[in-house]
Amino acid sequence: MTSAIDFVYHEARLIDEKRFDEWYELFTDDALYWMPLTRDQPIGETHTSLFYEDKLLLKVRIERLRHPNAFSQQQPSFCQHVLQQPAVVESGEQQCVLRTPFLYAEAQLDQQIVLAGVAFHHLRSHAGQWKIQMKKIELLNRESALPSIQLLL
Amino acid sequence: MNRYADPASVRELVRPDRVHRDVYVDPAVFELEMRHLWRNAWIYVGHDSQVPKTGDFYSAQIGHEPVIMVRGNDSRVRVLPNRCAHKGTKLVSAQHGKCQGGLLRCPYHGWIYRLDGTLRSVPLKGGYDEAAQAEALHGIGELTSHNYRGFVFVRLAAQGSGFQEFFGDSLTSIDNMVDRSPEGRLEVASAPLRYMHDCNWKMYVENLNDAMHPMVAHESSAGTAKKLWDSSAPAAGAPKPMVIEQFTPFVNDYEFFEKMGVKVYPNGHSYTGVNFSIHSKYSSVGEYERRMFAAYGEERAKAILAEARHNTVYYPSLTIKGAIQTIRVARPLAVDKTVIESWTFRLVGAPEEMLARTATYSRLINAPTSMVGHDDLHCYRAMQEGLSSQSSDWVSLHRNYSAAEAESIAGVYGATNEAPMRGQYRAWVDLMTRSEDVQP
């Protein structure tokens, strides 16, 4: 089995290379991709989040990016993660949690935004492979008025 | 000298069925909007549940005016200028917080104000002779504000339309939103989503009652969601996930959007969804209905819930969706820069499931990460950039225009009519040219 740390690097690389179908397969069926809006925000849909996506919504997002009438992507965006080495903060036989500070740049023609944050990967072992049960992203400037964030952190 | 300083030149920018591109792209027009329109109109500041206790404050920027919404010792919520009477320093910088000791103290030279804006003390007051004490040492004053069922508005101009006169019957949309709480009370549920729009504020406001864009602009997001759900062959009777329920009506056909209807009021206000809306077919929540029936009686409760207005525009700053308890507030920063804040509300006394619906909608549609929002903003930006073209000076708002509007534009129309935008520009001219006595 790939080490959990390598898995986290691999996951970011799939996004940066827009290999979204492969990326989608990294998630368990009950997975959650979550970017809370506030600090110390409890999990759950009664709180407004920036992302709170199950696999259905992730699929919609991926399919939309390929849609010929995704007008905001007529000029495509590209992104680049720069990860600090992931640290294993919880580990067990079948699951572990990693904490990964990161920088994320998203570029679209003449515009580029740079975001910073910390990602938490909650991984579960599944048929000899790591799968993501939850990816939680704590954005540094989540109180800011943010521009469009069009790809995936 | 502002090239539009003469009110006659401002009037020239608006014709019955079109507007000059300068209203969106010229910084000189924007400057006048902040000086006149944004002061003459009633502007939304915040909700009183954001300041539940004496001394709680919330700060906001209304045009050029930094303001503080604060709850006083008498429990009244006031709006004060966020500007020290001494050197102009903002008294508070946090978005929200609590005034220490129930007083506002300037962080620079320690001038202290009471929560009603009057001056309490100044260090070494003897440095001012008697005449100067009378002239220079004064409070920050209280701005003209109105708290309507929790929604707090300010009118920066000292004189002008009264609150009821300005909003009239459009306030029924706020009524419906509040009445949807079994206790008749709303509470802000979360920090706002804040979405930076690099476009003119009016593009956002106009879009809220624009029923001709969803099926075009949102095909890639809502259309994809609908297609994925339909092709997943859900078992007969399987409940639609909430996100599918919320996405799919965006790609309803033109007939649907035409027939939902739009009601236009004087002073730029309007709402779409007179007959039904994209929110009408959300599955009902049994426990919520039970609590509503118990609170209001079945007949009245059903009438409240049957009213599912789409977007109400409280021109120029506030847009609300009473049917799902979200509001969006336009905070213009520059001619091509506007922050759109989305706030979610809890229906006090309703089950948490209702809040989940609200928060989900806000995230799906209004967040900087929203697939729907991305395409809306893309269109506004494309318009902002396209309007730099000198190939034509005019932007058409002609759809279903009728010369009979000259008398009054108030009325109910098919929702694909561009009457709401024409109504907004009618108000725009009025609020831009109404007074030269706007400075308090």
pTM of structure = 0.97
- Kindly identify which residue of chain B lies nearest to residue A148, measuring between CA atoms: B368
> Nearest C-alpha of chain A: how many angstroms from B168?
32
Instruction: Choose the mutation target among B371, B372, B379 for the interface with A, i.e. most A CBs under 10 Å.
Output: B371
Lowest mean pLDDT among A59-63, B129-133, B421-425, B430-434: B129-133
DSSP assigned state of B313: E
Buried-exposed string B203-237: b where 16+ CB fall within 10 A, e elsewhere: bbbbbbbbbeebbebbbbbbbbbbebbeeeeeeee
User: How many Cβ atoms sit within 10 Å of the Cβ of residue B300?
Assistant: 13
What are A26-46's pLDDT values in tens digits? 999 999 999 999 999 999 999
Residue type for position A74 = Q
Is the pLDDT at B4 greater than 90? The verdict is yes
What are B339-386's pLDDT values in tens digits? 999 999 999 999 999 999 999 999 999 999 999 999 999 999 999 999
A29 CB within 8 Å of a chain B CB: no
What are B246-279's pLDDT values in tens digits? 999 999 999 999 999 999 999 999 999 999 999 9
Q: How far apart are CA A135 and CA A118, in angstroms?
A: 10
* Cα–chain center distance at B200: 15
pLDDT at site B438? 42
> Nearest C-alpha of chain A: how many angstroms from B393?
25
Average per-residue pLDDT for chain A: 97
The closest CB to that of B359, out of A47, A67, A72, belongs to A47
Contact criterion met (CB below 8 Å) for B317 and B424: no
Partner-chain contact A46 B355, CB within 8 Å: yes
Q: For chain B, which residues lie within 8 Å of any Cβ of chain A, measuring from their own Cβ?
A: 95, 189-191, 193-196, 198, 217, 219-221, 223-225, 227-229, 241, 243-244, 247, 339, 342, 344, 352, 355-356, 359-360, 362-363, 367-369, 371, 373-375, 377-379, 382
> Nearest C-alpha of chain B: how many angstroms from A146?
5
Q: How many residues does chain B have?
A: 440
User: How many Cβ atoms sit within 10 Å of the Cβ of residue B181?
Assistant: 22
pLDDT at site B437? 45
Contact criterion met (CB below 8 Å) for B210 and B34: no
Confidence of residue B436 (pLDDT cuts 50, 70, 90): low
* 3-state SS class at A100: strand
pLDDT at site A93? 83
The closest CB to that of A64, out of B95, B368, B371, belongs to B371
Average per-residue pLDDT for chain B: 96
A6 CB within 8 Å of a chain B CB: no
The predicted model gives B208-235 an average pLDDT of: 92
Percent of chain A with pLDDT over 70: 100
Contact criterion met (CB below 8 Å) for A73 and A65: yes
The predicted model gives B435-439 an average pLDDT of: 50
Contact criterion met (CB below 8 Å) for B257 and B286: no
List Cβ neighbours of B256 (8 Å cut-off, separation of 6 or more): B249
A vs B: CB pairs below 8 A = 106
Measuring CA to CA, which residue among B60, B15, B29 is closest to residue B318? B60
B370's tokens: 């929203």
Instruction: Choose the mutation target among B93, B220, B337, B361 for the interface with A, i.e. most A CBs under 10 Å.
Output: B220
A69 CB within 8 Å of a chain B CB: yes
Q: At how many degrees (to 10) do helices B286-296 and B298-306 cross?
A: 120
Partner-chain contact A46 B352, CB within 8 Å: yes
The predicted model gives B9-29 an average pLDDT of: 97
> Nearest C-alpha of chain A: how many angstroms from B198?
8
pLDDT at site B401? 97
Of B233 and A107, more confident: A107
pLDDT at site B233? 72
- Kindly identify which residue of chain B lies nearest to residue A143, measuring between CA atoms: B194
What are B138-185's pLDDT values in tens digits? 999 999 999 999 999 999 999 999 999 999 999 999 999 999 999 999
Is the pLDDT at B439 greater than 80? The verdict is no
Q: How far apart are CA B18 and CA B397, in angstroms?
A: 5
Q: Where are the beta strands (DSSP E) in B100-248?
A: 104-105, 112-113, 119-121, 144-148, 151-155, 186-188, 193-197
The predicted model gives B97-126 an average pLDDT of: 97
- CA dist B78 to B59, B141, B287, Å? 12, 10, 37
Partner-chain contact B189 A46, CB within 8 Å: yes
The predicted model gives B285-289 an average pLDDT of: 96
Partner-chain contact A143 B360, CB within 8 Å: no
Of B306 and B135, more confident: B306
Kindly report whether the peptide bond that precedes residue B316 is cis, defined as omega within 30 degrees of 0.
yes
